[in-house]
Structure 1
Amino acid sequence: MGKGKYLLILIFTVMMHKAWCQESNIQAADSISTDLYNKGNWKQLISYGNKARADGVYFPGLQLKVAFAFFITENYKHALNEYQRVLSKDPYNETARYYAYFCCKFLNDDLQAAYHASFMDKEALNKESLKPYGLIAVGAESGVKQNNDVNRDNGFYERITASNRLSWRFQLDQSLAYFNQNIFKLADDADNDDASTRSVDKQKEYYAKLSYYVTPKLSVIGSFHYLNTQFNNTIYNSNLGLIGLKYAATYTDIQGNINFGRLQNKPIEQYNTKVTYYPFGNFNLYTTSRASVKHLDGANNFIFSQAAGFKLMKNTWLESTVTLGNEDDYFDADGLYIYNAIDKTTFRCGETVFYLLNSHAQLQLSYAYEKKTDTYQSLKYDQNAVTLGFLWKF
């Protein structure tokens, strides 16, 4: 009995010593981090936070300081990760929630920002004029497609868009689009080798995408795309869908989705995986890689798309893209764009300039070069497309 008592005393003493050391380490870490924070030594604060974490000394006060250091240096992805660590243990930490909201805004993720806004108090919501429902953004784009095929006129394209917040976790994006192009085809006329017929390729579209945030990092997306295509005295009604998941990691966004439906009376499926990488945790530099497998007419086609963008100067970004593979009836941008033109596209690359006029308005100018194959004759031709877009965010 005596030996057991002494053993308990020894264990208690060791535990008290460890607790005292831990408390002492926390006090020292708090003092050092506060000093770095007050002096604005953000890089040193981040380095110290990493060391403290490795040493097992990491507490909410230090996490908030390190998160702010990432935020003030515009590493919004890492800052968001730090704030979410705090929120995982304290969901109603107002400071962490407020800055997590702004991280998402600066990363152009309105739905994730709304998710965090749902936990904010009324004072913060009123300050940012936030409501669980309402119009988020409206936009428009118009483009022309020019080519060097004598049997093809220029193509013209217009689209209007609107985004609505249906609740703190639901967002609905909608658009209407119209495309038209004159198509010439050599006629079977024995008396006139140059005889041709003209058909007008017209297409009207309605698109809707519904997104839902399940957790702070996981969202579910689904979309519907209706196409009314008129060509050669025939009308096609196509109904297409998409379902997918998106996961927001520290420096990457990972998405997997499936496109499916009937396109011009043909069943089609397309499986996609997309990874967006932010090496600096913001849009100063980013890349998006997308791999797709399209199943149509009993054949599988692999398509790969790569985009890279960077901040050129204040309020100006450049983005370059290249797409390789057979893009006949190819789905892009969560099913928003469907490349179902008369002629097949075998290669596409382009450049886009984004310019922020102010905190609400954005201009977008895109150029795309495409290699295409004439459906009616053995002819390959080039096509150049220019699109001008405008976006207003409320």
Structure 2
Amino acid sequence: MFDKQRNVTIRGFDSLSDSYRLSQMEVYLATAITLNKYFVFEPAFRWVKVSFPYPFVNYDSGSATYFIPGIKNNFNDYVAGGQFNCTVPYFDVFAGAWTSRYENNKQTQASLGIMWRPLGSLNLYTTSIFSMVSIQRKSNFLFYQKAGFRLTDWLWTELFASFGDHTGTSAFNARVFYNLSDRLNFYGGGKFIVPLSDNLTLTFNYQWSNSEGRSFKILPSGERKFSVYEYQNQIITGGIVWKING
């Protein structure tokens, strides 16, 4: 859950402020089906329930004309699909397709990617992924690039970047779902990977992103004026991955 604050000023008329809570619950299911020594199929499904009040609950009779009473918005978003992986010496090739719904918008996505290990190991590797997203007879293209290499005996690093409109898209076989109202145009960053043992890995991640949002204000005349604004986010995360051997 996230606690947020909204403020709106109607110049020369009124000022409104509202606190609200956004809640999101997610379920992710995936498995790997080995077809032979080269091919693996990985079906995946992600369900996301988002709930938040919108727009303002306004108790000021002087501006009630301009803002409707607050209502509860509930969205049941999902991604369903899967990808085929083919592993051969020095290369991994993968292709997949998914259908998704976010905020009652439906779209389809197809991706083709390749991972190249020029040394035959993870001491040096690159990953390139091309995606096409279709929604209401319109197509959008995405490109993701990652490069990883070993710095020392105990430290690996990765650099990555992704370009295109990511709104409503998914990545890494639905492990990530951008069910956003704002338009995410670019993100990039880096990761440090520290293996602690055969089963434990420590990671540190940094990501910078550039997005566009939309806002509107209601003028005293009753006219609605929409505008687009740009903003950037920086995220620093870290964690421990524990691999359980079956």
- Same fold per TM (> 0.5)? yes
What secondary structure, in the 3-state scheme, does the structure 2 residue paired with 1:366 have? Answer: strand
**2:48 aligned residue:** 227
1:308 is the counterpart of 2:147: yes
> Shift of residue 321 of structure 1?
0.4
Give the distance between the partners of 1:332 and 1:183, measured in 2 at CA. 30
The answer to whether the 8 Å contact 2:77/2:179 transfers is: no
1:285 is the counterpart of 2:124: yes
**2:39 aligned residue:** 218
Superimposed CA distance per residue, residues 226-254 of structure 1 (whole angstroms, 9 cap, x where no aligned partner): 10111232111123201221111221100
More strand by share: 2
Give the distance between the partners of 1:225 and 1:354, measured in 2 at CA. 26
Give the distance between the partners of 1:199 and 1:301, measured in 2 at CA. 33
Give the distance between the partners of 1:199 and 1:299, measured in 2 at CA. 34
Task: Give the partner amino acid of 2:8.
Answer: L
Do the aligned partners of residues 313 and 181 (structure 1) sit closer, same or farther apart at CA in structure 2, a change above 3 Å counting?
farther
**1:387 aligned residue:** 237
Q: How high is the TM-score relative to the length of structure 1?
A: 0.52
Q: Kindly name which structure, 1 or 2, has the bigger radius of gyration based on alpha carbons.
A: 1
Q: How does 1:1-394 map to 2 (within 5 A)?
A: 180=2, 182=4, 184=6, 186=8, 191-192=13-14, 194-232=15-53, 233-376=72-215, 377-394=227-244
Task: Give the partner amino acid of 1:368.
Answer: Q
326-335 or 235-244, larger mean C-alpha shift:
235-244
Task: Give the partner amino acid of 1:370.
Answer: S
Superposition RMSD in Å: 1.9
Give the distance between the partners of 1:190 and 1:341, measured in 2 at CA. 33
The answer to whether the 8 Å contact 1:189/1:195 transfers is: no
Aligned residues: 215
> Shift of residue 373 of structure 1?
1.1
Task: Give the partner amino acid of 1:226.
Answer: W
What secondary structure, in the 3-state scheme, does the structure 2 residue paired with 1:347 have? Answer: strand
The answer to whether the 8 Å contact 1:349/1:370 transfers is: yes
Q: How high is the TM-score relative to the length of structure 2?
A: 0.81
What secondary structure, in the 3-state scheme, does the structure 2 residue paired with 1:195 have? Answer: strand
**2:218 aligned residue:** none
Task: Give the partner amino acid of 1:259.
Answer: W
Give the distance between the partners of 1:333 and 1:301, measured in 2 at CA. 18
> Shift of residue 364 of structure 1?
0.9
Do the aligned partners of residues 358 and 318 (structure 1) sit closer, same or farther apart at CA in structure 2, a change above 3 Å counting?
same
> Shift of residue 200 of structure 1?
3.2
> Shift of residue 378 of structure 1?
2.4
> Shift of residue 190 of structure 1?
5.9
> Shift of residue 261 of structure 1?
3.3
Give the distance between the partners of 2:117 and 2:150, measured in 1 at CA. 12
Structure 2: segments with no counterpart, 5+ residues: 54-71, 216-226
Give the distance between the partners of 2:151 and 2:137, measured in 1 at CA. 44
More helix by share: 1
Task: Give the partner amino acid of 1:311.
Answer: R
Q: Highest relative contact order (Cα 8 Å, sep 6+), 1 or 2?
A: 2
Do the aligned partners of residues 183 and 208 (structure 1) sit closer, same or farther apart at CA in structure 2, a change above 3 Å counting?
farther
Structure 1: segments with no counterpart, 5+ residues: 1-178
